[in-house]
């Protein structure tokens, strides 16, 4: 097997630019400054679901009517 001189050598956990460490420090700082809010229960809404059901029923009625007129 050939040796690849461009392959990284040694441990790979070092970030030469330090951007990973800076990002982790930024995220940690944001987490410490954010107050913990209690989770709000999800609101139950049947508005969009009722509209989708009505649309499907209407489309089914139209398809049945067109098929009945085509076959009559």
Q: What is the pLDDT of residues 32-68, one digit of tens each?
A: 766 666 666 666 666 678 889 999 999 999 999 999 9
pLDDT number for residue 36: 63
pTM, whole model, 2 decimals? 0.36
Contact 55, 49 (CB under 8 A): no
- Of 24, 2, 4, which Cα lies nearest the Cα of 13? 24
pLDDT number for residue 27: 76
Q: What is the pLDDT of residues 59-69, one digit of tens each?
A: 999 999 999 99
């Amino acid at each position: 097997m050939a040796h690849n001189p461009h392959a990284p050598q040694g441990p790979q956990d070092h970030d030469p630019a330090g951007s990973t460490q800076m990002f982790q420090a930024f995220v940690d700082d944001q987490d410490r400054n954010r107050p913990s809010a209690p989770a709000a229960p999800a609101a139950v809404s049947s508005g969009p679901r009722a509209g989708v059901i009505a649309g499907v029923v209407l489309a089914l009625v139209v398809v049945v009517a067109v098929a009945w007129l085509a076959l009559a």
